[in-house]
Amino acid sequence: MRVMGLDYGSKTVGVAISDPLGLTAQGIETIERKEENKLRRTCARIEALIREYEVEKIVLGLPKHMNNDIGERAEKTLEFRDMLTRRTGLEVIMWDERLTTVEAERTLIESSVRREDRKKYIDKIAAVFILQGYLDSLYIGRNAGETGSGR
């Protein structure tokens, strides 16, 4: 079962896809648009990727404030979730994405990606962190009952 991870921004959407076993997330692309509310092409591209990768579930990053409040950006993300659910018929899981962009930036710096090139990759890398966090939570949940004693 493949899962899609999305980092929804005002002009870009970072996209990540899980491997078929649902263990690891790989960055696929960053979908760009000229205006924030112009989502027709963005949704069409997401739908094409869903078909191409046979995605069964979507994980969408929810940009909460550090104090756990939901601001304007999160409200727009929830509206985007509703649109995705209507258009794709898939379950869309909201995932706390606090600090994923910071983590993505740090990863790009550590990988010696030039400052002017980071913008091209940051949303896709943030989508990887969102999706990997979700996948890891599933793995931890599946193994919570194991003791590791070898019996």
Confidence (pLDDT) at 151: 38
2-143 maps to which CATH number? 3.30.420.140
Q: Classify burial at 43, counting beta carbons within 10 Å of its beta carbon; exposed 0-12, middle 13-18, buried 19 or more.
A: middle
Q: Cα 4–2–48 angle (5° rounding)?
A: 60
The one-letter amino acid at 9: G
Q: How many helices and strands in the chain, by DSSP H and E?
A: 4, 5
DSSP 115: H
100: nearest Cα among 126, 121, 119, 76 = 126
Residue-level pLDDT at 65: 65
Residue-level pLDDT, tens digit, the chain, 151 residues: 899 999 998 889 999 999 999 999 999 999 998 887 789 999 999 999 999 999 999 999 998 767 777 778 889 999 999 999 999 999 999 998 866 666 766 776 676 667 776 677 778 888 999 999 999 988 775 665 554 444 3
pTM comes to 0.82
Give pLDDT, residue 37. Answer: 76
